[in-house]
């Protein structure tokens, strides 16, 4: 099911299962917009959320479940922390409690990770990112595996297992079965009432983007890996976060879930903190300064001088976005050009 944005896909995927009085477990390292949607807006709608560290112990995860828990939510590759989510482990825990696992697979894309094969029941994407890949549209998508047995947990999901008087008195799980119930309810009920449909022209552009997704992702990953290795060895770079680096905490897990590569997003710190990072940004010639990521064109952001510029260095560190942090979304340009651009901008802070 296509939606008008990734935010709409995230919202519909959870709201299709949980309403006022229900509870949802989410990984704490998810995209900031999703976190706010859950923690502020959906709380206002009466839905309770428990955020768990994706690397929490089994006991901590177990303790997060409540009798009214309706689903578990996580992000394959967290934006921007690039934490690799242990899909298989969370799927097992969710299923043991009779609820589905929803995975936001935006950064990995279906080319690099297939969450349903690891036990996820529902997958969402912001198609605004790699799926479109050309800055052309905003969009989202929900994919239902069709595997979750709603009737086996009928008491938990009355919206799917009892008649919907607003839609011909149909019981979605009976009428449409495992494969059709979730998406039919989301379309017939949520999209009917709330809109957020994907505009036809956007769907057309998205389709064009998807046709080259496999080729683009291969190049994003090759370029991302080379950039991460280059930065790791540069004297003006203090740290690099990229799950494709052997030194990365999530390297092994990334190899399990994304053996062909993760994505093109790399974050790193420059020597000299906020001032040096600002100087570095000024000298970039190819990388486009933008909050957007996952695009064919290399995009770069220094949160401390843009999206987070109102915060002090101390506040930035507490928020996990240090003053030296640069987020680079490596594009599909020639790797020689990208590296030369980074090299000359790094020389400016010698």
- Binding status of residue 31 toward ligand PLP by CB under 6 A: yes
Provide, rounded to whole angstroms, the least separation between the CB of residue 141 and ligand PLP: 10
Nearer to ligand PLP, 242 or 280 (CB): 242
For residue 116, the tally of other CB atoms under 10 A from its CB is 21
Is the Cβ of residue 10 or residue 161 nearer to ligand PLP in the bound state?
10
138 is a site residue for ligand PLP (CB under 6 A): yes
Residue 106 found at the interface with ligand PLP (CB under 6 A): yes
Which of 33, 180 has the CB closer to ligand PLP?
33
CB 239 within 8 A of CB 267: no
Establish if 26 lies at the interface with ligand PLP (CB under 6 A). Answer: no
User: Which range of residues in 27-35, 93-101, 232-240, 251-259 is near ligand PLP by CB under 6 A?
Assistant: 27-35
54 binds ligand PLP, rule: CB under 6 A: no
**Residue 126 interacts with ligand PLP (CB under 6 A): yes or no:** yes
- Are residues 135 and 292 in contact, defined by beta-carbon separation less than 8 angstroms? yes
Check if the beta carbon of residue 265 is closer than 8 Å to that of residue 221: no
295 touches ligand PLP (CB under 6 A) = no
Sole binder of ligand PLP in the list 16, 24, 27, 75 (CB under 6 A): 75
Decide if residue 13 touches ligand PLP (CB under 6 A): no
Q: At what angle do helices 273-283 and 335-347 cross, to 10 degrees?
A: 130
79 sits near ligand PLP (criterion: CB under 6 A): yes
Angle at 13 between CA 172 and CA 107, to 5 degrees: 140
Nearer to ligand PLP, 104 or 341 (CB): 104
Q: Which is nearer to ligand PLP, 69 or 126 (CB)?
A: 126
Nearest Cα to Cα of residue 235 among 266, 264, 268: 268
In the chain the first and final C-alpha atoms are separated, in Å, by 50
Q: Among residue numbers 190 through 249, which ones bind ligand PLP (CB under 6 A)?
A: none
- Residue choice 33, 180, 272, 273 for contact with ligand PLP (CB under 6 A): 33
Q: Is residue 140 involved in binding ligand PLP (CB under 6 A)?
A: yes
User: How many CB atoms sit inside 10 A of residue 231's CB?
Assistant: 26
Closest approach, Cβ 41 to ligand PLP, in A, equals: 13
Closest CB 182 distance from ligand PLP, rounded Å? 19
Instruction: Between 278 and 295, name the residue whose CB sits nearer to ligand PLP.
Output: 295
Give the Cα separation of 319 and 256 in Å (integer). Answer: 29
Q: How far is the CB of 60 from ligand PLP (least distance, A)?
A: 23
The closest of 127, 259, 278, 282 to 205, measured between CA atoms, is 127
Q: Is 7 in the site for ligand PLP (CB under 6 A)?
A: yes
Does the protein bind ligand PLP through residue 137 (CB under 6 A)?
no
The nearer residue to ligand PLP, 274 or 302, going by C-beta atoms, is: 302
Return d(Cα 28, Cα 288) in angstroms, integer.
29
Distance CA 87, CA 117 (A): 10
How far is 268 from 228, CA to CA, in rounded Å?
9
Whole-number minimum distance, CB 265 to ligand PLP, in Å?
9
Phi, psi of 331 (to 5 degrees): -90, -160
In sequence order, the 6+-apart residues with CB closer than 8 A to the CB of 8 are: 140, 196
Element (H, E) at 217: helix 213-232
Residues forming contacts to ligand PLP in the complex (CB under 6 A) are: 5-7, 10, 31, 33-34, 75, 79, 104, 106-107, 126, 128, 138, 140
């Amino acid at each position: 099911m296509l939606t008008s944005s990734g935010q709409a896909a995230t919202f519909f995927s959870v709201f299709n299962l949980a309403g006022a009085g229900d509870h949802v477990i989410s990984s704490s390292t998810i995209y900031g917009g999703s976190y706010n949607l859950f923690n502020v807006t959906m709380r206002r709608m009466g839905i309770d959320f428990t955020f768990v560290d994706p690397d929490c112990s089994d006991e901590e995860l177990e303790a997060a479940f409540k009798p009214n828990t309706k689903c578990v939510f996580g992000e394959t590759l967290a934006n921007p922390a690039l934490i690799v989510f242990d899909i298989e482990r969370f799927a097992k825990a969710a299923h043991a409690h009779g609820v589905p696992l929803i995975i936001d697979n935006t950064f990995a894309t279906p080319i690099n990770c297939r969450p349903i094969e690891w036990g996820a029941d529902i997958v969402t994407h912001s198609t605004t990112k790699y799926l479109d890949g050309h800055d052309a549209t905003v969009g989202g998508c929900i994919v239902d595996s069709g595997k979750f047995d709603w009737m086996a947990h009928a008491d938990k999901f009355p919206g799917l297992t009892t008649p919907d008087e607003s839609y011909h008195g149909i019981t979605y799980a009976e009428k449409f079965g495992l494969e059709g119930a979730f998406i039919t309810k989301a379309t017939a009920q949520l999209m009917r009432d709330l809109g957020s449909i994907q505009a036809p022209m956007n769907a057309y552009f998205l389709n064009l983007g998807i046709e080259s997704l496999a080729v683009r992702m291969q190049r994003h990953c090759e370029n991302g890996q080379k950039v991460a290795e280059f930065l790791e060895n540069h004297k003006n770079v203090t740290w690099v976060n990229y799950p494709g680096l052997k030194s990365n905490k999530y390297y092994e897990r990334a190899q399990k879930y994304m053996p062909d590569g993760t994505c093109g997003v790399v974050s790193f710190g420059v020597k000299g903190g906020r001032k040096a990072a600002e100087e570095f940004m000024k000298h970039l010639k190819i990388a486009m300064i933008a909050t957007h990521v996952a695009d064919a064109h290399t995009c770069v952001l220094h949160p401390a001088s843009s999206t987070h510029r109102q915060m002090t260095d101390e506040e930035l560190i507490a928020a996990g976005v240090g003053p030296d942090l640069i987020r680079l979304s490596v594009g599909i340009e020639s790797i020689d050009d990208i590296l030369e651009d980074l090299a000359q901008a790094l020389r400016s802070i010698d």
